[in-house]
């Protein structure tokens, strides 16, 4: 996942080297170059199911969201199967970019990262909405001009 422009200055200058080291040189529970949670290998296009199972081409078996051997999908599951390319990212467990201590970093695939960061993104989304409303109060008058549809703010 690309680094957002507003948080780029928070990362150390050698972040690309640190990221590469974590993703491809440090052996996680499933080995180097694999997601530390589910074991999906970087760069491969895999068959995946909505419940997190994925097909391990090397061992010719299905694995669950924790990388353990799982049951093969039935016909209903197989209809919801899709292909995805796995991209590993070096992630901060505490969502704090300057904290690059080895214990705080992990190599996760996009699925595991999304699941791990869900609550953090919810909090950030709420802050963004509150910030927009405050800007409306300060500079544009009432925020009645903002229309809320579901959880999205549309001007």
Q: How far is the CB of 152 from Zn ion (least distance, A)?
A: 28
Does the protein bind Zn ion through residue 112 (CB under 5 A)? Answer: yes
Does the protein bind Zn ion through residue 53 (CB under 5 A)? Answer: no
Residues in contact with Zn ion, counted by CB under 5 A, come to a total of 5
Segment near Zn ion (CB under 5 A); pick from 56-64, 89-97, 107-115, 137-145: 107-115
Q: How far is the CB of 3 from Zn ion (least distance, A)?
A: 20
Question: Following DSSP, what letter does each residue of the chain receive, concatenated?
Answer: -PPPGGGGGGS-TTHHHHHHHHHHTS-BTTBTTB-TTT-PBTT-EEEE-TTS-EEETTTTEEE-TTSSEEPPP-HHHHHT-EEEE---EEEETTS-TT---GGGEEEE-HHHHHHHHHHHHHHHHHHHHHHHHHHHHHHSS-GGG-EEETTEEE-
Please select the residue that binds Zn ion; options are 38, 48, 49, 106, rule is CB under 5 A: 38
Does the protein bind Zn ion through residue 37 (CB under 5 A)? Answer: yes
Segment near Zn ion (CB under 5 A); pick from 51-59, 67-75, 104-112, 114-122: 104-112
């Amino acid at each position: 996942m690309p680094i957002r422009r507003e948080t780029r200055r928070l990362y150390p200058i050698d972040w690309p080297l640190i990221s590469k080291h974590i993703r491809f040189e440090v052996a996680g529970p499933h080995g180097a170059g694999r997601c530390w949670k589910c074991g999906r290998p970087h760069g491969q296009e895999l068959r995946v199911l909505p419940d997190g199972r994925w097909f391990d081409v090397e061992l010719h078996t299905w694995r669950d969201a924790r990388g353990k051997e799982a049951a093969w999908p039935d016909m209903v599951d197989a209809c919801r199967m899709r292909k995805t390319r796995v991209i590993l990212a070096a992630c901060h467990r505490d969502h704090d970019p300057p904290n690059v201590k080895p214990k705080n970093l992990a190599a996760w695939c996009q699925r595991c990262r999304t699941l791990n960061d869900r609550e953090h993104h919810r909090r950030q989304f709420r802050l963004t909405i509150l910030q927009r409303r405050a800007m409306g109060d300060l500079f544009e008058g009432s925020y009645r001009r903002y229309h809320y549809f579901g959880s999205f703010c549309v001007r």
